């Protein structure tokens, strides 16, 4: 391939999202809990044959740097088993590993409770992630929801299937991921531009990492970059 694309965008644009006060910058390094889950991941799927009938969900794509599949076994509406595969960095692997522990410990988390898990909950259990790595950890809960939808579908609870497109991202302003998708489709390709259109994150700044992830996801989906 000799005809290559010129550099599409300055990396500075992306860096802006990472600017934090120097006193709050946690730096590059991972907590011992993150390292433990990265070097000794729990519950990753080793043999797919045993999970053919499990409820499966997937999210992301390797092109955007993160992709994830999860397999669930659910009994009495409780998650008894959670297996996963993740393409991603240490943060992504550790987050998925931690999520698998959180939903299966103490006899298994009720499905409805698991649906409420947010990336922040996983990060808290990991003892935090470096600021610039937060965006790597936002896929686990989505993959889980995708698998739960598969469970609802297969167990005839169709009415419970939550359409991902309508999920509220900014709970203060009630901005959904559908709103973000629309903004990206209208040409907003950075957090700033999406915020100009939706105000997302101004009501609930804690959702910004997830918004960035969604922008990236939709850009990849619709524009291939």
Region 16-45 residues binding another protein, contact defined as CB under 8 A = 18, 38-39, 41, 44
The count of chain residues that interact with another protein, using the rule CB under 8 A, is: 44
Interface with another protein (CB under 8 A), residue from 3, 53, 75, 159: 3
The smaller minimum CB distance to another protein, of residues 24 and 116, is found at: 24
Secondary structure of the chain in HEC code, one letter for each residue: CCCCCCCCCCHHHHHHHHCCCCCCCCCCCCCHHHHHHHHCCCCECCCHHHHCCCEEEEEEEHHHCEEEEEEEEEECCEEEEEEEEEECCHHHHHHHHHHHHHHHCCCCCEHHHHHCCCHHHHHHHCCCCCHHHHHHHCCHHHHHHHHHHHHHHHCCCHHHCCCHHHCEEECCCCEEHHHHHHHHHCCCCCHHHHHHHHCCCCCCHHHHHHHHHHHHHHHHHHHCC
Binding mask 105-144 for another protein (x = CB under 8 A): ---------------------------xx-xx--------
Is 52 an interacting residue with respect to another protein (CB under 8 A)? no
Is 91 an interacting residue with respect to another protein (CB under 8 A)? yes
**Beta carbon of residue 145, minimum distance to another protein (angstroms, whole number):** 16
Note the residues at the interface with another protein (CB under 8 A).
1-7, 9-12, 14-15, 18, 38-39, 41, 44, 46, 58, 62-69, 85-93, 132-133, 135-136, 212, 216, 225
């Amino acid at each position: 391939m000799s005809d290559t694309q010129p550099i599409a965008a300055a990396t500075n644009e992306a860096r802006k999202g990472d600017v934090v006060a120097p006193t709050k910058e946690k730096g590059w390094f991972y907590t011992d809990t993150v390292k433990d889950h990265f070097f000794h991941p729990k519950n990753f799927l080793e043999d797919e044959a045993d999970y053919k009938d499990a409820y499966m969900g997937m999210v992301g794509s390797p092109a955007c740097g993160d992709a994830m599949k999860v397999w669930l076994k659910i009994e009495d509406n409780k998650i008894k088993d959670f297996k996963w595969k993740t393409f991603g960095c240490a943060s992504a692997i550790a987050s998925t590993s931690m999520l698998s522990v959180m939903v299966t410990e103490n006899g298994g988390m009720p499905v409805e409770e698991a649906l409420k898990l947010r990336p922040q909950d996983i990060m808290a259990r990991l003892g935090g992630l470096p600021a610039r790595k937060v965006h790597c950890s936002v896929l686990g809960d989505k993959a889980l929801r995708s698998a739960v939808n598969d469970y609802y579908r297969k167990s005839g609870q169709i009415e419970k299937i939550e359409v991902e497109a309508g999920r509220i991202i900014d709970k203060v302003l009630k901005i959904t991921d559908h709103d973000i998708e629309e903004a990206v489709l209208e040409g907003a390709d950075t957090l700033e531009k999406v915020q100009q259109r939706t105000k997302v994150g101004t009501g609930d700044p804690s959702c910004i990492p997830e918004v960035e992830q969604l922008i990236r996801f939709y850009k990849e989906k619709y524009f291939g970059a």
